[in-house]
Each structure stands twice: as C-alpha cells, then as structure tokens.
C-alpha cells in the first residue's frame, strides 16, 4: 500500500522555525525517518510539502485512486481552511491529521481544527512520532484486508 505524507505551510522551515516548539530537526530528517519506517512496515510513502492552500487541495484530489491514505499536517490551514476540509470530503482516501506540537496546549486559535471532522483521527504533540504513529495507525487500519 502507498501513503502520501503532506506537510503544509512553513514546515519547510523545520529546524530553523521556533525550535523550542518544533525541534531542531529538519523536514529532510523527517522524510528520512519516515522512509526508514515505511521500509520496515512494507509500505510505500511519498513526501510532499507546499506552502499554498491550492496546491495542497490539488495533492488531495490527485491522491484519489493513487494512495490508500494521507498523513496531513496542514499547519495553520488546519484552523481555518474550509477549502482543505472540503477537498478531504471530496475524495475516497482516509486522512490522518498530524501536528508536531500539542495544538490543544497552545494558543486558543490552535484548539479548533476545521479538518478533524473529515479525518479518521488526529495525532498531536509527539513531534516526529506524530507521523510515525500515523503510519502505524494506517498499517493497523488495513490489517486483515485482502490487498
């Protein structure tokens, strides 16, 4: 099975961006860790980053029929993009929402996710492990299926 990992706005700045909140490791480090895990779990992963809402929407549309699941860190779009929410609802691909930081322990505006209702679940606060936990969750989600 193949999974798409989408990182949204400002996540290309990982390592430089507010390291006290997001850590010192970079997006390349994240990609390397997830590629290593995907090999162990015998799953394929593709890795995309975009700062633009429309591009993220296009990636979600294009995933339909191509990927069995999406791990999505929509960054700040999480909190207000009805367009990304509608894109998720428009495709037949399960989405797991992830965040590096614990969005519930920060500013009030980060506590709301407008995309959460159209995902199968949210993992928040575990740094890079939020993504690895999502891959494990997808691995278990499809366990027992024929293909």
Binding interface with ligand DQA (CB under 6 A): 10, 73, 75-76, 78, 99-101, 103, 110
Residue 131 annotated as catalytic: no
For residue 73, the minimal CB distance to ligand DQA (Å) is: 5
CB 93 within 8 A of CB 63: yes
Residue 100 marked in a binding site: yes
For residue 101, the minimal CB distance to ligand DQA (Å) is: 3
Residue 101 marked in a binding site: yes
- Which is the catalytic residue, given 99, 104, 131, 141? 99
Using the minimum distance from each CB to ligand DQA, give the nearer residue, 16 or 39: 16
For residue 37, the minimal CB distance to ligand DQA (Å) is: 18
Residue 22 annotated as catalytic: yes
Residue 124 marked in a binding site: no
- Return the active site residues: 22, 99
């Amino acid at each position: 099975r193949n999974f798409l990992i989408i990182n949204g706005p400002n996540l290309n700045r990982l390592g430089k961006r507010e390291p006290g909140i997001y850590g010192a490791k970079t997006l390349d480090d994240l990609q390397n860790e997830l590629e290593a895990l995907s090999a162990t779990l015998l799953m394929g992963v593709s890795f995309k980053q975009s700062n633009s809402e429309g591009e993220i929407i296009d990636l979600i549309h294009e995933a339909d029929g191509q990927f069995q699941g999406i791990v999505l860190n929509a960054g700040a779009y999480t909190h207000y993009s009805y367009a990304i929410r509608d894109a998720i609802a428009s495709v037949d691909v399960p989405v797991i929402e992830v965040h590096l930081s614990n969005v519930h322990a920060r500013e009030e505006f980060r506590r709301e996710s407008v995309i959460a209702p159209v995902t199968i679940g949210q993992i928040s606060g575990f740094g890079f492990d939020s993504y690895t936990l999502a891959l494990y969750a997808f691995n278990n989600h499809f366990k027992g299926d024929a293909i």
